[in-house]
Amino acid sequence: MDFLKKPIFIIILAAALIIAGIWAYISNRNQQKAAEQKAAEQKAASEQKAAEEVTKIVNLTNIDSSTVNENITSQVAAADGKAAEVDKKLQLIAVEIKLPGTLDNGSGDSSYVYSSTSDKTNNWVITISNISGKFVRARVPKEDYIGDLSTINRNYWKLNYVAALQVAEKNGGLDFRNANDITEVRLTLKNADPKNWLYWFVDYVSKNNLKEVQIDASTGAVISQESS
């Protein structure tokens, strides 16, 4: 065991301990840097996600459709009242919502169309601004607008126009908007084929094209072109 007492061994052992210490320090430092870098990357990703959430466009395609129910109920009551002032026999036969291509929440106009058996020529249209709430009441010849439709059974009017739009978005509407410069989205509620049931017709209007999605106003089912 005398070699353990030799200076050369002590020097080698000391060097080995120093090298091991330096290696452990460097290894620990590298691990610390890697952990700090990973934490920084996670923080940056989290901040980016938060920023994207803040700047996310919120419009009629992604809001809770039930949030507009109160406003729609108020509009319908106002339109019914204005129609009754003209003729108490007037019955609701159609609703048409005209929206800008941006589909901003609270945008566009809502038109409520009424007909009476005592007037075979004209319909009455109450148009209400979704922005200001102001209205315009007008008598319009049936052949110029909407036509001669049957009275809406409101018990089957389960989907509001926002819900109908969101169904249409998932059934080709979004793809059409992404591929075209949309100038207007028009939603019409009326009785129509097949079976003269109550449907929403969602029309995406661009400069050169039009896409229509027909939706059952009671169930939300999409009606194929073959069955309509």
100 and 194 part of one domain: yes
Residue 37 lies in a domain: yes
Phi, psi values for residue 216, rounded to 5°: -65, 120
Q: Is the pLDDT of residue 221 over 60?
A: yes
Domain limit, last residue, from 31, 55, 79: 55
**169 lies in the same domain as 198:** yes
pLDDT of residue 54: 44
Distance, in Å, from the CA atom of 68 to the CA atom of 73, rounded to the nearest integer, reads 9
Condensed to tens digits (0 to 9), the pLDDT of residues 114-127 reads 999 999 999 999 99
Is 165 strand, coil or helix? Answer: helix
Both 109 and 35 in a single domain? Answer: no
Sign of the alpha-carbon dihedral angle for 136, 141, 142, 144: negative
Q: Do 98 and 192 share a structural domain?
A: yes
Q: Are residues 106 and 201 in the same domain?
A: yes
Whether 92 is in a domain gets the answer yes
- Mean per-residue pLDDT for 210-221? 98
Pair 131, 205 in one domain:
yes
**Whether 44 and 78 share a structural domain:** no
Do 25 and 138 share a domain, yes or no?
A: no
Report the predicted TM-score, pTM, of the whole model to 2 decimal places.
0.75
154 and 43 inside one domain: no
**Does 83 lie in the same domain as 11?**
no
Asked if the structure places residue 60 within a domain, the reply is no
The tens digit of pLDDT for each residue in 31-86 reads 777 777 887 778 777 766 555 554 467 899 999 999 999 999 999 999 999 999 99
Number of domains present in the structure of the chain: 2
Q: Clarify whether residues 191 and 148 are in a common domain.
A: yes
Query: Quick check: is 34 in a domain?
Result: yes
Q: Per the domain annotation, does 228 fall within a domain?
A: no
Q: How buried is residue 142: exposed, middle or buried, by Cβ count under 10 Å (0-12/13-18/19+)? A: middle
> Would you call 87 exposed, middle or buried from its count of C-beta atoms within 10 A (0-12, 13-18, 19+)?
middle
Q: Has residue 32 been placed in a domain?
A: yes
How far out from the chain centre does Cα 134 lie? 25
27, 103: one domain: no
Domain range for 17:
2-55
pLDDT of residue 188: 98
